[in-house]
Every structure is written in structure tokens, then in C-alpha cells.
Amino acid sequence: MAGIDGSYDAIIIGSGIGGLVAGTYLAKSGIKTLIVEQADKVGGYCGSFSRDGYRFDEAVHYINNFGPQGFLRAICQELGVESLFEVLTIDPSDRLLMPGVQVAIYHNALRTTEELSRTFPKERRAIKRFFDLVGAFHFASLYVTYQRRTFRELLDEYFEDRRLKTALGLFATTMGLTADKLSALSALAYYKGSILDGGYHSVGGAQSFANALRDRFLQLGGEILLSQRVTRILIQQGTVRGIELQEGHRVSAKTMISNCDATQTFINLVGEEHVEPGFVRCLKALRPSTSTLVVYLGVERSLRDEVPDCCNLWYFPHEDSASGSINIVEDDRPNGFVHIGLSSLHDRTMAPEGCESLVLFCGASYMTVEYWREQRDRLAEILVERACHAIPQLRGGIRVKLPANPHTLFRYTLNRDGAYRGWEPTPDQTKLGLVPQKTSVEGLYLAGHWITTPVGNGGVSMVAQSGKNAARAVTTFLRRHTETVVGTVSA
């Protein structure tokens, strides 16, 4: 294979943010590293594309934990990528429209408390207590109290008002679940990362962030192979030896990080014969997070005076979460839930002058290819109709309309069932060790949103941290088991 050496210290399968961060740490430590990506560009879900002058974020449209104390910012500083992309801070990051409720979530907990207390004055003290809990959140201190509980149970413990509980639950549906199923710890981690340290947009779209990591990785001597799918992880005597690519070409490596779907990694790439039967059963029984229907909209008019600036506008036309589903396959009423990403309101590179680029999201079950062939356009129209309820000025101005269904997400990233953010973050699935970073194959580690942790592992900042951890594990392995001279990855 032209340009590809036959032997590496480390190979990374997949160039999602978890893979890119891991690769950049390894290259920085002097480790000869190859990233293999099946798509024709890097980033996985963190990508963007252009159409008719509009730029759209394919999935990720904002990043969290990037404030002055944020761990994602610290990672970018350590890797020297901070200066390679530009970030805008949007405060408030999220706004919600519900009957009689229009509230915003600011980076500052006090300001958010004030905002919510204006709409729910009787709950003022409870709101303050809730945000104190969020502000002080560290999973270790709350693990015993909340590990088995849902976010709904936590909300019931704090609040009386049904609409307030619905509103706070809706903001957390970015985790792909309603409050009655979502793990309380995942919700608290999300509130902390997004409220106190959330709402950052990379100028030019999410792809700019992935490209910055790619450029730094290449600068440090790393190599990337695009449009090549790994079909096999080669194993000898329980230790990783290399990969096989789609056309049969083999590349050897002393260590490996899989950044792709965990089920694919163990069942298809490693092979069940190399994995404990109990672990295979566990993997098959775990539930992936929901997928989404996405509609990319190019709008031929400015919405700057109509819509207050934010990253995410949440629209839910019911007072109670039980009155409507966040999954459009389960609830296809024209006036229902929609989550709107509003990148061009603050980043003018995303749309032509006087126009806007919007992305509509709604939970959606994976279903069959035939189902989506028949239903895609109808459900996309319903999602647009919902967005027009939230922003009436959209009507008549739509010039570009492109839907992506769960099978599209699967095709582009090979995430099982087009999953949105790894495993479904329910209390029974948010545990350390169900799918650990260190695998039973010597020298093989995972990075990305399929590792289980007490708070879930979805979202850019979490997968970046997992990439850093995987790189540290690889450097330790190389130092212990090989002659390779390696630097260190900070704790």
C-alpha cells in the first residue's frame, strides 16, 4: 500500500475525536502511530459539509467542558491544538420553548437559577439547591446516593412543579433519553459540563476542530490512511499483532486502540473466539443509545432578529413529558418535540450573507432500510413543520432541505444502529467495567463513546478524555513490554 509502512508502534482504528486525541498524544510521545479511517475525512460524528453555499454540522455542533477550567481545553492546550482552531462561546447555550415557559440555561449557575426562578418563583429555593448540587458535582461523592436512580427520581426529590421537572428533563434529552430512563449521574454530569462549562462552537463548523487535531497529529509525525476499512484485528497468543484491511493488506502493530463501535470491535474485528463468552453475551445484551433523524436546513432569510442567540433551541408543545415522545417514530404528530441547532446565528461562516443554516434533530429508532426509504421524507417534513411552530419565520424561506436518517448515521460512522452517543445512559448501563478501556486482548484498548463509565461516555469532551486515557495505557504497555522508547502522557 503506497506510503504505508508495514509496521507501527500503535494503530488506531477510527478517526473520531477519541481516536484523533489518542493519536496526537501518542505522536507527541514519539510513538510511531497510524490512524486508519473508513471514511474519506477525519472526525466521525464531528464533521461538517457544504451545500449551495450553506455549511452544516453533520452531528456535533457544540462542544462542552471547554471553559477556562474545562478538561477539553486542557487537553487541547497539552496537545498544542488550541491555536489551530477558533472557538466561539455562546451564552446561554440552550433555550427552551414550552407552553407558558421560555427559559435559558446560562454558563453561570446563579444566573440560570435567577432565570428559572422568574418563571417558577415557588421553586426558587429548590432550584438553588439543585444547581448547588450540579456545581459541586463529582460522581465519586454522589455515586452511592444516585448510581441506581433515574434523573426523574432526582427531580422528584427536589421539585413539585410538573412543568419545571419537564423543562429540566428536556434539556437533558441531549443524552438521548427522557428523565424517567436517564441515569441521574449522567444528567448531573451533563448539566455541569454544559451549564457551567458548555456551549462552545468551533468556527467553520465541527469539522474545523477535527481538522485541527488531524493537522497537529500529522505535524508530530503521525500517519493517516483514509477510505480504508479495517476488517480484522490480528491476534497471536492473546496479544494484538496488527490489522487487516478490506482488500486483504496487512499492517503490523505492537499496540492498538479501537475508536470504533465496541460490538464491531469484538464480534467482527477481534472475533468471538478471542473473547470471553460472558463478555460477548454482555455486549449483545447492552442497549445502544437512540439514533436520530436529522434535517439540514438552508434558509434564505436572516433570523437574527427573530430568534435569540443560543446553540440549541428546544421546543416541546406539551406541559408534561408523558404527553409527547422525543422519538419521532413513536410520535409523529406535526406539533411535537424538535431540537434545533442554530450555528449560523453566531458563526457567519456557516451561511451566505442574510441567510441561516439550521440543523433539526429528533430521536428516531433504527428500524429497517425499507422503513426509512418509505418514511424518511414524510418524517423530515413533520420535523420541519415542528421547527416552523418554534420559529414561524422559517415558513417560506427554506431553500435547502436534506434529511439524514439512522441508517445514514450508521453508514458514515459504523456506529451500531446509528447510535447517537454509545450505550443508552440508563442507571444499569452507566457503570465502570461493563465495557472497559483495557480489553482482554493484550495491547488492545478502546477510546470513544462505547466505553462504559458511571456517567456515560458520549459527547466530544468525554471521548477526548478517553482518547487521552487510552494513549496513556498504550505508552505504559510499550514501556513495559517492548524496547520502544516513549515519552509520557500526563495524568
What residues make contact with ligand FAD under the rule CB under 6 A? 13-19, 36-39, 44-46, 59-64, 229-230, 259-260, 264, 292, 294, 361, 409, 413-415, 420-421, 448-449, 458-460, 463
If the CB atoms of residues 169 and 459 are measured against ligand FAD, the closer one turns out to be 459
If the CB atoms of residues 123 and 459 are measured against ligand FAD, the closer one turns out to be 459
Q: Which helix (H) or strand (E) holds 399?
A: strand 398-404
Q: What does the alpha-carbon distance between residue 324 and residue 14 come to, in Å, rounded to a whole number?
A: 37
Min CB(472)–ligand FAD separation in Å: 16
**Measuring CA to CA, how many Å separate 178 from each of 167, 170, 172, 188?**
11, 7, 7, 14
Ramachandran angles phi, psi of 361, nearest 5°: -130, 145
Cross-strand partners of 233: 243
If the CB atoms of residues 54 and 120 are measured against ligand FAD, the closer one turns out to be 54
Min CB(4)–ligand FAD separation in Å: 14
Most distant CA pair in the chain, distance = 68
If the CB atoms of residues 77 and 227 are measured against ligand FAD, the closer one turns out to be 227
416 is written with which cell numbers? Answer: 451500531
Min CB(460)–ligand FAD separation in Å: 4
If the CB atoms of residues 246 and 482 are measured against ligand FAD, the closer one turns out to be 246
* Measured CA angle at 447 (ends 441, 448), to 5 deg: 135
Min CB(19)–ligand FAD separation in Å: 6
Residues 6+ apart with CB under 8 A from 350: 54, 55, 56, 204, 205, 343, 344, 357
If the CB atoms of residues 264 and 344 are measured against ligand FAD, the closer one turns out to be 264
Min CB(341)–ligand FAD separation in Å: 7
In angstroms, how far is the first alpha carbon of the chain from the final one? 37
Cβ neighbours of 320 (radius 10 Å): 12
- Residue for cell digits 437559577? 113
Give residue 462's identity as a one-letter amino acid code.
Answer: M
Cross-strand partners of 292: 363
Nearest to 316 by CA among 113, 101, 150, 92: 101
If the CB atoms of residues 65 and 321 are measured against ligand FAD, the closer one turns out to be 65
Q: What does the alpha-carbon distance between residue 409 and residue 407 come to, in Å, rounded to a whole number?
A: 5
Q: Which helix (H) or strand (E) holds 445?
A: strand 444-446
Min CB(161)–ligand FAD separation in Å: 28
Q: What does the alpha-carbon distance between residue 235 and residue 442 come to, in Å, rounded to a whole number?
A: 9
Min CB(126)–ligand FAD separation in Å: 28
Tell whether omega for the bond before 92 is within 30 degrees of 0, i.e. cis.
yes
Q: What does the alpha-carbon distance between residue 71 and residue 275 come to, in Å, rounded to a whole number?
A: 33
Residue nearest ligand FAD by beta-carbon distance:
16
Min CB(452)–ligand FAD separation in Å: 13
Min CB(237)–ligand FAD separation in Å: 24
If the CB atoms of residues 106 and 120 are measured against ligand FAD, the closer one turns out to be 106
If the CB atoms of residues 18 and 222 are measured against ligand FAD, the closer one turns out to be 18
Min CB(485)–ligand FAD separation in Å: 28
If the CB atoms of residues 126 and 212 are measured against ligand FAD, the closer one turns out to be 212
Nearest to 438 by CA among 474, 464, 485, 414: 474
What is the CA 284 to chain-centroid distance, rounded?
Answer: 22
Q: Is residue 51 within 8 Å of 296, Cβ to Cβ?
A: yes
